[in-house]
Structure formats: structure tokens, C-alpha cells
A and B are shown apart, each in its own frame.
Chain A
Amino acid sequence: MADESKTTSAPSAQGAPLDIQSLSRSCNEVLILSTLSSGPHHGYQLALELEEKSGGAFRFKHGTLYPILHKLEHDGLIQGDWLDEAGKRKRKSYRLTPAGRSRLGEQVVEWSEFFERFFNVVVEAKR
């Protein structure tokens, strides 16, 4: 996964031409938004959960997560809050905003359409 900083919509939405460059950006975005949909996460927790849920397929170097997280925060799709944990050090926790939840919904639909078309091509080639 690349550490791109632009927030994008899912690839090839509504039959538009596929922008290969936006693929990984969009994928990173939907992965993070999906993980945050289950509740607030710290940066490290987020990377760990993504890796675990994907069986190691999506392994983020934590340092490369920051540009994606900060871009999503900048765009108002997620919000980061510094939380004090029982007198210990403060940690930044990210949560999904209503705008982020709505973007996630759109992206899930768009990615489903994308994979449907993708498999149409691949399955046809296999026949």
C-alpha cells in the first residue's frame, strides 16, 4: 500500500475510465474508513487490526499511515482526539465522522461495482 495523500473516490465509479494511480490511494482510504467503522482506534492499533483482519495482506508501515490519516482528518472524514488514559500518556485516537461514514458507504458500493466488472473480465478470460 502506498502512502499517497490525496483523498479519492473509488476507481472506475459509474463506468468511468479506471485511474490506476488512484487505485492504491482509494484502497488505503476505504481500508482505514472500514476499520474505523467498528470504533475509535489509535494509529498503531489501526495498523495492527488491518494486518490481522487481512491475514497479513495489508501491512502498513506505521509511518506511512500518518499522511493518509492526516489527509482524511483534513478532509473531515475522520477526527483525531487526544485522549488521556487513566493518568498515563496521551494518545491520539481516530474516529469516523458522519461525513466519513457516508463516504465509506459510497466507497463500498463503488468497490463492489469495480470488483464485479473486474471479475467479469477475468472469468471471461478463463473460459
Chain B
Amino acid sequence: MKRFARVLRDAQEQLEIPEPSRTRVLLEMASDLEDSFQFHLSQGCDEAEAARRAEEAFGTSEEALKHLTRIHEAGLGGMQNRISNQIGRPWEKVLLVAIVAFEIFATAKIVSHEAFFLFLSPFLWPIAALALGALVVTVWKLYQIFFRADSDVRQIRSGLGALLFFAGASLAVTGCGFLFHIQRFFRLNYEAAPESLFINFAGWMATISFMMILGLLLAMLTALIWYVLINLAARSERREVEELLGAQV
């Protein structure tokens, strides 16, 4: 790897993609340069000539590196790359765990409230289904990260985007539920007597409050879990890259 340090440093300067993708690309280049070097050695070149030919055949252009940057920055994967690697300090980890714990506690508190099942909105069912989907993905990913030793790092990232989908869908269902209950309330109480209007309004408020708070809490919780998992995936990737660097040098 040191043999081609200059070429790799040049490539590194032009690659504006976040870690660990950048290191991986550089490792791939280093590995191919070394293959090319070995090939030229086997063809009878001396070391200096083999290195010169390997560099010549390598020929990474500025345009090619820009393309690489664009590919690795594109889409959800690129966004996830940029967002991950952000939690590093212990207090950040503690804060994140505290927020997640609070969210779980608040959700449990609402669901266990005695009035919760009296004012059940039909929109809570799709929200519960989305939360269940998010739970399944979370458990599976935690199993991959902590218990399955042979997990490929790419497999950990794959499917994490589903959590963002669940969070977004939960928000969308909550919004739809809100609109539905408003129009339903006004439609049913358009000509109601003032006394019954007040009672109906209280019931409507309870139904809509439970649904909205739970929907928003679950959406936030799912998004937070995604953030935690994406950082755990980034940590696994960093470990793999360190291992690869150790093997290359």
C-alpha cells in the first residue's frame, strides 16, 4: 500500500464521499494496484518498472473520481452515510439513550391509561401495525449487529430505510386521522344541542389526542431507533475498515 501512497493520496483528496465508503474505495484501489504490480513483476519487470506500469495502467481521472463521489452520495444510502458517524462522544450516546427511553416510557404510559381503550380511534390500528413492523425490523437488526457474528456489514444497513418509511407512514396516518376526525365531528354535530355538543367535543378531543400523541410518539421513536441503528451500523463498518487497513498495510 505504501508503494502507491502518492496515487492513493491524490485519489483521497478528490473523493468527497463520507467514511467509511471513502476508505473502502481507497482500499479497493490499493488492492488493484497491488494486483497490477504483481502481474508486471510476474512478466519480468523489476520493482520500479512494475510500480510505474501499475500506476500508468491505473489512470484514475478527475472525472472518474467525481462520478464515484456522485454514486456514493446518491439516494438514501448517501444520506445515511452523511448522517451516520455523528454520535461519537459518551454524553451524546447517553443523551440519545435517554431520549429513546423517555419516548418508550411516554408511549407505554399513554397505552396503559384507563381511558385509552374507551376513546380508541380506528386510525390507531394502522399506526399499531406500522409500529409492529418497525419493531420486527429493529429486533432483526439488533440480532444481526450483536448476535450474528457472520453478518455482512452491508446486510446491517440494508433494510434500515424501512424504519424511515414506517416513521413517515405513521405521521401520514396520524395526519389523515386528524382530518378524518375533524370532518366527522363537524358533520355529526352540525345541528347538535349545545349540551351534547360539549360532551361530544370532550370525547372527540380525547380520541384525537390519544391518536395524535401516540402516532407522533411512535413516528419519533421509530426515527430515533433508525438513527441509533444507522450509527451502530457505521460503527461495525469502521471496525471492518480498520481490520481491512490492518490487513493491507
Interface residue ranges, A against B (CB under 8 Å): 3-5, 42-45, 47-48, 61-64, 66-67, 70-71, 74, 80-82, 84, 88-92
Contacts and interface: CB of A to CB of B under 8 A. Distances in A.
B31 A90 contact: yes
B57 interface: yes
Interface residues of B, number: 33
A48 B39 CA distance: 10
B70 A62 contact: no
B181 interface: no
Nearest to B63: A3
Contact of A91 (B31, B67, B152): B31
Nearest to B35: A44
Interface in B174-221: none
Contacts of B61: 3, 61, 63-64
A7 B168 CA distance: 29
Contact of A61 (B34, B59, B68): B59
A74 B39 contact: no
A66 B64 contact: yes
Interface string B4-33: 000000010000000000000101110111
Given A67-B64, A67-B67, A90-B247, A44 B36 contact: yes
B79 interface: no
Q: Name B's interface SS.
A: helix
B31 A71 contact: no
5 contacts: A5-B68, A61-B60, A63-B29, A67-B67, A74-B74
A90 B244 CA distance: 7
Contacts of B35: 42-45, 91
A9 B63 CA distance: 22
B97 interface: no
Please indicate which of the listed interface residues B27, B28, B152 has the most CB atoms of chain A within 10 Å of its own CB: B28
B39 A66 contact: no
Contacts of A66: 25, 28-29, 60, 64, 68
B151 interface: no
A70 B31 contact: no
A38 B68 CA distance: 26
Contacts of B39: 44, 48
